[in-house]
């Protein structure tokens, strides 16, 4: 990386309206595209579930990439909320999941993401999660399991070593709540449990829209930090809405 480049760094708590809740994300605002190896090193140093890198000088759609401490991922909601919170206004991003449109207005950020409805497989996941399941399936990159109650989701303790060894090593568990609740585990990409997972709601929203007979729902991710994701299903797209708070800002010197 060019040592003369001045790249902003921000720490943002996403899907919350107060600091030290929701999901923390690193946001690096780049003057020019960066090497993937360098971005992975920065993400490993930051140790957040995702660090986002956006090229803010680009004309048109801004290149945006997301890295966990160990892997690049193809879609991340909370870090995209964080980026748009930092940049403000209406933004279009060029990503591994295509062009994504986000808008910040009146303290809320709306993201237009591709829907990823789970497909029922009925497979036996008891080595990972030995609890009665009402639905077992797969989304594009995640196992998807519906449990009998919100309490079951809250108290679940998946075997993360067993999960890490299977497929992509990622698991969404969910149950009906006021609308629905969920938790997300991703040891396969270096994230044992993610506090609030926007991309998981691309699967959660269409599933629960079908179950509850309505297209506008509120998801509660009931991790230790917790967070709220407002969702709206529109055909093959899902609108995700959340708030964010900047905790710290500075510059990278590497």
From the list 36, 29, 81, the residue with the least C-alpha distance to 55 is 29
CB 231 within 8 A of CB 215: no
Radius of gyration of the chain (CA): 18
Distances (CA, A) of 242 to 46, 77, 102: 23, 10, 11
Q: Could you give the CA distance from residue 203 to residue 61 in angstroms, rounded to a whole number?
A: 25
- Helices (H) then strands (E): counts for the chain: 5, 18
Q: Could you give the CA distance from residue 151 to residue 175 in angstroms, rounded to a whole number?
A: 9
HSE at residue 85, side-chain half, CA atoms within 13 A, is: 32
CB 241 within 8 A of CB 230: yes
Strand partners, 124: none
CB 217 within 8 A of CB 188: no
Catalytic residue among 50, 110, 141, 193: 50
The three-state secondary structure class of 230 is strand
232 has catalytic annotation: no
Q: Could you give the CA distance from residue 219 to residue 4 in angstroms, rounded to a whole number?
A: 43
The three-state secondary structure class of 48 is coil
Instruction: Catalogue the active-site residues.
Output: 50
């Amino acid at each position: 990386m060019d040592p003369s480049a001045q790249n902003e760094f921000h720490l943002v708590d996403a899907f919350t309206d107060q600091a030290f809740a929701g999901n923390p994300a690193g946001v690096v605002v780049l003057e020019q595209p960066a090497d993937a190896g360098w971005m992975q090193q920065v993400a490993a140093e930051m140790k957040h579930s995702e660090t986002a890198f956006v090229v803010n000088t680009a004309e048109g759609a801004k290149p945006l990439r997301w890295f966990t401490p160990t892997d690049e991922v193809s879609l991340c909601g909370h870090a995209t909320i964080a980026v748009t919170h930092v940049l403000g206004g209406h933004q279009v991003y060029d990503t591994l999941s295509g062009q994504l449109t986000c808008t910040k207005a009146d303290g809320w950020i709306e993201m237009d993401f591709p829907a990823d409805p789970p497909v029922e497989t009925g497979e036996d996941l008891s080595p990972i999660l030995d609890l009665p399941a009402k639905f077992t399936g797969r989304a594009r990159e995640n196992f998807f399991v519906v449990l009998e109650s919100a309490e079951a989701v809250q108290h679940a303790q998946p075997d993360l070593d067993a999960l890490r060894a299977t497929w992509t090593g990622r698991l969404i568990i969910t149950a009906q709540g006021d609308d629905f609740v969920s938790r997300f585990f991703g040891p396969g990409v270096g994230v044992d449990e993610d506090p609030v997972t926007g991309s998981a709601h691309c699967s959660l929203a269409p599933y629960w829209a079908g179950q509850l007979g309505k297209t506008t729902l509120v998801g509660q991710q009931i991790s230790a930090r917790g967070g709220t994701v407002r969702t709206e299903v529109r055909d093959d797209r899902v609108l995700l809405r959340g708030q964010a708070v900047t905790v710290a800002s500075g510059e990278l010197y590497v």
